[in-house]
Each structure stands twice: as structure tokens, then as C-alpha cells.
Amino acid sequence: MVEFAMVAGVFLLLLLTAVSASIYTVQRSAAVTAVAAAARVAASGTRGARGANTPDLVDALPTAARMVSRVMIGTRVRQLPPPSPCPSLSSIPPREVDVCATAAGDAVAVRLRGRPAGPLSLPGLDWSLDVVAQVHVVTFAP
């Protein structure tokens, strides 16, 4: 029984670590897809008086937040008002990710940065995300 207890404990730890790594992989994949889609939204231009040649940073953030919130259970997704940059990873609290959008020259960048919640909270297993997508702005000539 002692040997079984030792082996069962190690097995459960390895099983929970594998589940945690799998969840992180799904979260990271969703983050990559979300920032790419949000960058395309930002680069496509705004509707209305500002025109199609102005990057739409405001509508990009809800796009990214909507896509990642489905897989980041227990994580707060915070949308920072554009064009503010994302804070450093060390200043973002656990169980929170920040989404920010900026424009520089003829390109827009959407970044998702933070530490999402996971099923296993052990020292050294606090997964972090820092994903960025940059797209050139679409311009239209009359």
C-alpha cells in the first residue's frame, strides 16, 4: 500500500501537469487566432466620418476579447483603451490577460499579454501569454 500511495501521487501529479499543459496549449492557440483576427479588423479601417484609411483600433479589442474569453475560463480579459500599450507582464495580476491595440506608421499591432487561469496552481507552473500580431493598414485611393 505504501508503494501504491507513492506511485499514485506521482501519477496524479503528472496527469494534472499534462492536463494543465493541454489547457495552456488551447489558450495559446486561441490567443494567436484572436490577435490575428483583431489586427485584421484594425487594419481594415473605420466606418463613418473617419474613413476607411484610418485604423479601427476600437473595434479590434472586442473581437480579440470575444474570441479568447471562450477558452480562458476563470480569467479576466481586460481591454485597454487604444492607443495605450500593454503593461509589462510582471505588472499584470494572475488570472488576467490584457488586450491592447496600437498603430505605428502604416501598421497596426494587437497584443494579448497576461497570465491565464489554469487548473493547477503550483510554483513554476504559472503559464504566461505574450502574443502579438502586426498587420499593415489597408489604404484606399479615390
Q: Decide which of 36 and 106 is more confident.
A: 36
Mean pLDDT, residues 24-52 taken together = 82
Residue 32 has pLDDT above 90, yes or no: yes
Q: Check residue 120 and give its pLDDT.
A: 67
> What letters, b where the CB count within 10 A reaches 16 and e where it falls short, cover 41-65?
bbbbbbeeeeeeeebbbebbbebbb
8 Å CB contact between 100 and 88: no
The 8-class DSSP code of residue 30 comes to H
Distance from C-alpha of 95 to C-alpha of 118, rounded to nearest angstrom = 8
pLDDT tens track for 83-124:
888 899 889 988 899 999 988 888 889 999 998 887 766 666
Whole-model pTM: value is 0.82
